[in-house]
């Protein structure tokens, strides 16, 4: 059921609307991720609905502390990196 709902929310149609509304700067867990035009609109929707990298973001929010030294080798569009940066800037 969860996968069905995720597929209904994060599709190319809703993603195109979200990209248009936010001008390719998609809200994601309190940050804004600037996405390239070439990125699938479905990915923009997944970012907006907090489906993209949600487990990784929860891990970071739970275990990363502002007094730690972090080496992040980001390999995606920056959702996890932005969360780490938010925590370290506090």
Q: How many domains does the chain have?
A: 1
Is 74 a residue whose pLDDT tops 80? no
Alpha-carbon distance of 35 to 47, in angstroms, equals: 10
Q: Read off the pTM.
A: 0.81
Q: Give the pLDDT confidence score for residue 27 in this predicted structure.
A: 94
Q: Tell whether the model's pLDDT for residue 73 goes beyond 90.
A: no
Name the residue range of residue 59's domain.
2-88
* pLDDT tens, residue by residue, 11-66: 999 999 999 999 999 999 988 999 998 889 999 999 999 998 889 999 999 999 98
Predicted local distance difference test score (pLDDT) of residue 75: 73
For the CA atoms of 72, 73, 75, 78, the dihedral, rounded to the nearest 10 degrees, stands at 30
């Amino acid at each position: 059921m969860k996968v069905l709902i995720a597929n209904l929310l994060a599709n190319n149609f809703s993603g195109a609307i979200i990209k248009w509304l936010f001008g390719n700067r998609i809200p994601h867990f309190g940050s804004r991720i600037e996405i390239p035009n070439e990125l699938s609109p479905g990915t923009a929707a997944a970012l907006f609905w907090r489906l993209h990298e949600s487990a990784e973001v929860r891990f970071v929010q739970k275990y990363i502390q502002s007094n730690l030294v972090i080496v992040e080798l980001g390999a995606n569009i920056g959702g996890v990196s932005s969360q780490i940066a938010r925590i370290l800037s506090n």
